Structure 1
């Protein structure tokens, strides 16, 4: 890395020094300022490019470390910009009545920001309390917004409110720890170019279609309101809409109780920095709860200093997590919930054999899934239609024929009709992603990682069945 030149942010005035040398290297944790015989305190800032490519460039913050023995030098320790943002957030949170006990936000290498224990914690310890007044919800969305957007979803209303407030000084400390627009574009498939979206796995593609429809429905409401504001362009609304989507909590209030469950959402500072745990070690994720006064997060197990503290966003597979939150969890962290759709392989075989109508009438057409343990019950019902006579198939469905009687035939069909073609398809998608040039490298890597996870699911199940 090359050295970075800096300059004094203030003009030299009476009683203030002129900086004659400033050296900062990205290998060093310190900045040394050689002053002209001056040892008093002063304020200084220097622009430092970020090491993390996905974060936007911003000015770094410097913390002074004074030494009584220094007469003509100050040693100023360089603080990572995100660390400074976190410190500012904590100060702001305290001013808002947010109570943080035994934990703190922290930048995690390669994983953004999370919450870690700052001391030993016992089980059933309240580590965070966010007063209800601090939540951003339908209840405290400005009347000027709700009146202008009658019938809009809570998601749209919160996004508009956030969009219009993003530049507000009152939101600065919280806004500083939001993912940047570049982060959002790289992480979330809704922002990917069509060439990459076309390579998504089936379950992810179906969820993205629903998400895209929801966004465009919300944008249509906002566009119809004819806001005359540079803060409410489609791109800015998309950014705010996705911030709400990735950072909101499920919560029903008296204002939203009669609305669809999709409208049961609130935003809350600090709590939105908890990362998701699929299978936390020992089930040691924390739990959140609402009452009239506040939202609290409580430990379920003991934690050592430095442990990351997780919550669960819900029992979601990696296709859901990728589309809705922009990440996937590696095995074994999400083994209990991860699954993949078998519809693209099983449905054509069933339709070609003339079984679609009978399966639809019985309520067993489509939604065939595979997890790490087994193919779902619906899949086995459908495969029996390929292996048995209509009378035998109906007898199993009616409980008059033992399911295990035909187990070997059904499992052989699962391997031949579904798993092997699915493996070939996954391998082809991995090659396609490797050859793709559209979008960001981080997006392509996330997509490739997901297909590799799916390949592992398929191969693992096939090998399990073939070894029996």
Structure 2
């Protein structure tokens, strides 16, 4: 067994509430990374596969709890440590190996209740991991390690996350920045959205990170202290951010209940489960309320379990899957850095193409569509061409305001407009196939000589999915 996995299991087993089914095993594959396989017997509907106690999950609550071990003034009911326990904890953790003073007492004591509660989950978790995983070990020359080190050690490296487009966009030194121009509209929009969140979250915590980076040498009394540069700190943050983003699981966080984007937790072992496009078939998550037996062990949000869905696992070495959501390849690439060859949730965003077609004429069509809220968001999936496209092209072709409005109100069937818009739609789809095929040829030529084909191959897979969808619609009668 891999040493890091062995350490993780040893750490998890320190809690009586940790459980894994006896007939599963972790597999490490060069092609797909780590996954969970059936080792013997079978797993049926509702069987518990994995169950992780609240104390071993990394989220807003458990981080407040661990910070309060070092900050005696931090008191958040239901989240922070009891003060008597905190005094005992101080005796246990204030000194690391070889007598090193733990700098977290000085650093975390600077964090007020107001400051912490105003952070989002992404901001607090990334700040905490940046300190615990990256800064403290270096500052103390690995003499002091985090409680979470066994979890940290199984996370992906920067290299393993290299195919996420927002990293190309945010990292000025990324060797893949030139690939941004090849991203289709949907993937580019996801990249832009995520990049904005990255920069906002970094701005929220960077002042504290820079300040601590400057002061840690004097706290430890270390001469010639190695201080990270601002670029190095941002690079570390970027890595941490996408570890979180690619591994977080939905869970309601009581103190952040009104902040939708903050409701998540990081769960060890569960993140070995790979994605399947099949919804409601394979494994599913379940969050139970905090067990009474665990209250003394830690405060948190509850036991996180994964159970078997409708699929009956009975083939030895069959991989167990978890559906991450009904996501297209554009989304999967942007959030997780991978794509799926046959993805039933793929769609094309052809908003730019239709807008360009309309704007080549005059402003009359745009004015009508804006007035009735049908401007933009034009998509096609394998099953249908979106209603918004049909409305837009119906008015573009006919300029019949009265009938198109009745169409949007449900008084006229789309069958009335279909013969009128079909020639324009067919021409557009044929043009898109030609455009995507040309892009595919360019990407495949580039992939033949590239040192790293993974990033290129992911984009190629997206475009092939597009061509499949368009061809399917062109073949329809």
Same fold judged by TM-score > 0.5? yes
Whichever of the two has the greater Rg, that structure is 1
* 8 Å CA contact retained: 2:186, 2:349: yes
Q: What secondary structure is seen at the aligned counterpart in 1 of 2:34?
A: strand
Q: What secondary structure is seen at the aligned counterpart in 2 of 1:105?
A: strand
The correspondence for 2:50, drawn from 111, 128, 131, is 128
Matches of residues 251-330 of structure 1 in structure 2 within 5 Å?
251-259=251-259, 261-279=260-278, 284-293=281-290, 294-300=303-309, 301-304=311-314, 305-330=316-341
Q: What secondary structure is seen at the aligned counterpart in 2 of 1:364?
A: coil
Give a deviation string over 1:189-248, Cα, whole Å, max 9, x none: 423533111211100101110100000111112222234335770000110011000001
* 8 Å CA contact retained: 1:248, 1:268: yes
CA distance in 2, matches of 1:170, 1:235: 23
* 8 Å CA contact retained: 1:122, 1:303: yes
With over 3 angstroms needed to count, the CA separation of the structure-2 counterparts of 1:186 and 1:352, relative to structure 1, is closer
CA distance in 1, matches of 2:157, 2:122: 20
Give a deviation string over 1:31-77, Cα, whole Å, max 9, x none: xxxxxxxxxxxxxxxxxxxxxxxxxxxxxxxxxxxxxxxxxxxxxxx
* 2:240 equivalent in structure 1: 240
Give a deviation string over 1:115-155, Cα, whole Å, max 9, x none: 22223112110111111121111112225386366633211
* 8 Å CA contact retained: 2:166, 2:194: no
Matches of residues 69-468 of structure 1 in structure 2 within 5 Å?
83-96=2-15, 97-101=17-21, 102-119=23-40, 120-141=42-63, 142-143=67-68, 144=108, 147=112, 151-166=118-133, 167=137, 168=145, 170-191=147-168, 193-225=176-208, 226-229=210-213, 233-259=233-259, 261-279=260-278, 284-293=281-290, 294-300=303-309, 301-304=311-314, 305-331=316-342, 334-335=343-344, 337-353=345-361, 354-388=364-398, 389-416=400-427, 418-434=428-444, 436=446, 440-464=452-476, 468=477
Which range moved further: 185-194 or 299-308?
185-194
CA distance in 1, matches of 2:385, 2:249: 31
* 8 Å CA contact retained: 2:253, 2:264: no
* 8 Å CA contact retained: 1:189, 1:326: no
Q: What secondary structure is seen at the aligned counterpart in 1 of 2:255?
A: coil
Gaps of 5+ in 2: 69-107, 138-144, 169-173, 214-226, 291-302
CA distance in 2, matches of 1:413, 1:291: 54
Gaps of 5+ in 1: 1-78
CA distance in 1, matches of 2:408, 2:444: 44
Superposed CA RMSD: 2.3
* 8 Å CA contact retained: 1:186, 1:440: no
With over 3 angstroms needed to count, the CA separation of the structure-2 counterparts of 1:329 and 1:111, relative to structure 1, is same
With over 3 angstroms needed to count, the CA separation of the structure-2 counterparts of 1:435 and 1:298, relative to structure 1, is same
Matched pairs, number: 377
Which range moved further: 191-200 or 112-121?
191-200
Give a deviation string over 1:306-348, Cα, whole Å, max 9, x none: 22111121111110100001011111xx21x111101121111
Which range moved further: 436-445 or 163-172?
436-445
Which range moved further: 375-384 or 162-171?
162-171
CA distance in 1, matches of 2:451, 2:334: 16
> TM-score scaled to structure 1, two decimals?
0.75
CA distance in 1, matches of 2:111, 2:385: 46
Greater than 4 Å deviation, 4+ residue runs: 435-439
* 8 Å CA contact retained: 2:163, 2:333: no
* 8 Å CA contact retained: 2:166, 2:192: no
More strand by share: 1
> TM-score scaled to structure 2, two decimals?
0.74
